[in-house]
Structure 1
Amino acid sequence: MSFSVRFSEHAEADLIRLYQFILDRDASDLVLAERALDAIKNAIRSLETSPFSCRKAQADTPFFRELIIPFGASGYVALFEIEDANTVTVLALRHQREDDYH
């Protein structure tokens, strides 16, 4: 089974924000920003074939899940929804060290 993975507008904005955060810390760190973006994109590709292997975001809702994306000493988390038998939508992306990460 193969799923089509799409990004909500919010998730697209999160990608830009996370990328920009690295550059705002150090404008010369373009390589690190690109590596982080590649790590996220590569992990998201796994949702095309196995979104149900990710942990549930809420115990009582089997279709909202979280993908843990390792990167460096911590990493990122993608919240996504399995909408139907063909579609997965990435709803949000966060760094694990962000204040609002749970």
Structure 2
Amino acid sequence: MSRKLLFAEPFFIDIERYYDHLTETDPRLADRAYDAVSKALSVLEDFPFIGRKVVVDDETIMTRELLVPFGNSGYVVLYEIEDAETVTILAVRHQREDDYH
């Protein structure tokens, strides 16, 4: 069953920030990074439980994270499974950021 993806505003801010940053040095790299994240998001439509659960202070919360390999590191997509039909994409972070949660 394919789920509907909803996007929270922070996701758009994050993805634009990464794209703009990469475009300054290599526009093709920016396109490839964007494509890698987009491809990962399409997987969530059919397999939303593929991401690992986020644990904060020994307590599992509803947020999950999907690792998106890219280059020597990658990105982490934070999302929540709202119900049987909907997945909300919350944010995307680069794995080398200080705090990607």
TM-score > 0.5, shorter chain as reference: yes
Q: Secondary structure at the match of 2:75?
A: strand
Determine the C-alpha separation between the residues in 1 that align with 2:81 and 2:9.
17
- 2:41 is the alignment partner of 1:44: yes
What residue ranges of structure 2 are gaps of 5+ in the alignment?
none
**Separation in 2, partners of 1:53, 1:10:** 22
Q: TM-score, normalised by structure 2?
A: 0.90
Secondary structure of 1:93 counterpart: strand
Cα distance between partner residues in 2 of 1:3 and 1:83: 10
Post-superposition offset of 1:6: 1.7
Q: Describe the superposition over 1:3-32 as per-residue Cα deviations: whole angstroms up to 9, x where unpaired.
A: 1112111101111011011123x1xx1100
Q: How many residues align?
A: 98
- Alignment match, 1:23: 23
Normalization by structure 1: what TM-score?
0.89
Structure 1: stretches of 5+ with no match in the other structure: none
Structure 1 residue identity aligned to 2:9:
E
More deviation, 2-11/52-61: 52-61
